[in-house]
Amino acid sequence: MQVRGATALVTGASAGIGAAVAGLLAERGAAVLVHGRDAGRTAAVADGIGGRPIVADLATAEGVDALAAAAEAVDVLVLNAGAGHAGPFVEMPADRIEELLALDLTGAIRLTRVLLPGMLARGRGRLCFVSSIAGRTGVAGEAVYAAAKAGLDAFAESLRLELAGSGVGVSVVVPAVVDTGFFESRGRPYDRRSPRPLPARAVAAAILSAVERDRAEVFVPGWTRLAPTVRALAPAAFRRLSLRYGEEVRSR
Ligand SMILES: NC(=O)c1ccc[n+]([C@@H]2O[C@H](COP(=O)([O-])OP(=O)(O)OC[C@H]3O[C@@H](n4cnc5c(N)ncnc54)[C@H](OP(=O)(O)O)[C@@H]3O)[C@@H](O)[C@H]2O)c1
């Protein structure tokens, strides 16, 4: 798909991966709608790239509907807004569970439900969902986040099949560890040596490539595709390795 001249909405574009992909889309000649929750950060990114800021809280149904109404006709929708939560599941407050699922899963599905009919009517469009390796592997201490991302993967895969031949492509980008404010806001810094955190622009480039070439799935970095492959082919070995990682999380 030609990004030049298209209207692109990037959710969670006030920081991190979303800000990087909004910048790349603007460089390629798209009209970019820069969504964020924080008004100041959203305006700063929009000003920097010549985009239009839209502020909405996507953990609420009202926020999703307000964003969809403000965005109108969108050709490229990057569903990137998201947050994590780190810590033992039994200590997770019930309202935090609801908030995380609303933002990371149902908010993206609901926004797609509102904006997709316009793409289908125009016979062209791209949906790109930013998932996580956590949703492909499971991670101790991040059960609800991993569940939300696994749900997003299944939704996107199903939609891709359903929309085949419609002119609307569906992609999933699966980052591993990216150097953004994500870890600070989830409540635990990233302190493992591998995989090394990548710059946000590496994921942004993968998103752009997925949109332009209608790629079903892109892992960033590419070698992390091995994790779900080993999980499928040698599940016992995979779980032993995961437990070792999990113990590190549980001991915090
Ligand atoms: N960083 C990683 O290692 C990593 C790895 C795998 C997947 N991911 C995924 O990548 C995506 C982007 O994360 P990031 O790393 O760029 O994190 P980030 O720098 O923390 O950015 C998160 C973005 O989501 C927005 N957001 C958070 N809560 C929101 C809410 N309730 N309503 C609307 N917007 C909200 C933030 O807006 P404000 O700043 O305006 O609040 C911000 O623009 C997420 O879906 C995340 O799960 C990240």
For 145-201, the pLDDT digits (tens) are 999 999 999 999 999 999 999 999 999 999 999 999 999 999 888 888 788 899 999
pLDDT at 191: 82
What end-to-end distance do the CA atoms of the chain give, in Å?
46
pLDDT surpassing 70 at residue 6: yes
pLDDT surpassing 50 at residue 142: yes
- What percentage of the chain exceeds 70 in pLDDT? 97
185 lines ligand 1 (CB under 6 A): yes
Domain span holding position 149: 7-224
Q: Count the Cβ atoms, other than its own, within 10 Å of residue 110.
A: 18
Q: Is residue 233 part of a domain?
A: no
Work out how many domains the chain is built from and give that number. 1
Å from CA of 76 to ligand 1 middle: 18
Catalytic residues: 145
Q: Is residue 27 part of a domain?
A: yes
Q: Is residue 152 part of a domain?
A: yes
Q: Is residue 252 part of a domain?
A: no
Mean pLDDT on 129-136: 97
177 lines ligand 1 (CB under 6 A): yes
Residue (of 139, 217, 151, 129) closest to 183 by Cα position: 139
Dump pLDDT digits (tens) for 59-114.
999 999 999 999 989 999 999 999 999 999 999 999 999 999 999 999 999 999 99
Residue 28 CA, distance from chain mean position = 21
CATH of the domain at 35: 3.40.50.720
17 lines ligand 1 (CB under 6 A): yes
Å from CA of 29 to ligand 1 middle: 24
Residue having the nearest C-alpha atom to atom 42 of ligand 1: 12
Residues 6+ apart with CB under 8 A from 249: 86, 139, 140, 141, 142
